[in-house]
Amino acid sequence: MVRIRKAKLEDLLDIYNIIRHAARTGAVLERSQQEILEHLRDFIVAEAEDEIVGVVALHFATPEMCEVRSLVVAEKWRGLGVGKRLLSRVIKEAKQFGFKKIFVLAQAPHLYLQKGFKLVPKEKLPNKIWKDCVNCPKFPQCDEEAYVLFLSSSSKK
């Protein structure tokens, strides 16, 4: 059984390793243990058989907009709906916090399009969102597109 829950301090190394592994293919940006520690409250994990099998982070970008970051499912757990559940959970959290929009920068948007995210020109995102891009090995040749989901205020529960 896969359980979706908020990250705990003891998950730090597992979160670091799962992201680092996926970052080797360029699918997500590598994050240091220190950075993960400082943002641990952003993280939601999927736990199965006493292992962390998936992670995602909800990053507060501006008062209106938050960002889905570091969505990764461990290879042997892919295709089982874990990614979809992690994404549903961050969307729910974003609504509960009162955000109007949630966005993601992604190369392979299938999962996001399924959830109702729409492709938008990257220039529509606030400038401050790009401050972490300089840390990306692909910078300035970005191969990701921006997808935004508008969150209805009627569904905050």
Ligand X SMILES: CC(C)(COP(=O)(O)OP(=O)(O)OC[C@H]1O[C@@H](n2cnc3c(N)ncnc32)[C@H](O)[C@@H]1OP(=O)(O)O)[C@@H](O)C(=O)NCCC(=O)NCCS
Contact positions vs ligand X (CB under 6 A): 22, 27-28, 71-73, 78-84, 104, 106, 108, 110-111
Q: Which is nearer to ligand X, 90 or 151 (CB)?
A: 90
Tell me the closest approach of the beta carbon of residue 27 to ligand X, in angstroms: 3
Q: Which is nearer to ligand X, 9 or 108 (CB)?
A: 108
Q: Calculate the alpha carbon distances from 61 to 34, 90, 122, 126 in Å.
A: 19, 14, 15, 9
Tell me the closest approach of the beta carbon of residue 154 to ligand X, in angstroms: 26
Tell me the closest approach of the beta carbon of residue 76 to ligand X, in angstroms: 10
Q: Which residue is nearest to ligand X (CB)?
A: 83
Tell me the closest approach of the beta carbon of residue 116 to ligand X, in angstroms: 14
Q: Which is nearer to ligand X, 12 or 111 (CB)?
A: 111
Q: Calculate the alpha carbon distances from 46 to 5, 8, 37, 148 in Å.
A: 6, 12, 18, 24
Q: Which is nearer to ligand X, 45 or 104 (CB)?
A: 104
Tell me the closest approach of the beta carbon of residue 48 to ligand X, in angstroms: 11
Q: Calculate the alpha carbon distances from 121 to 48, 105, 124, 148, 154 in Å.
A: 37, 11, 6, 10, 27
Burial (0-12, 13-18, 19+ Cβ within 10 Å), 144:
middle
Q: Which is nearer to ligand X, 139 or 156 (CB)?
A: 139
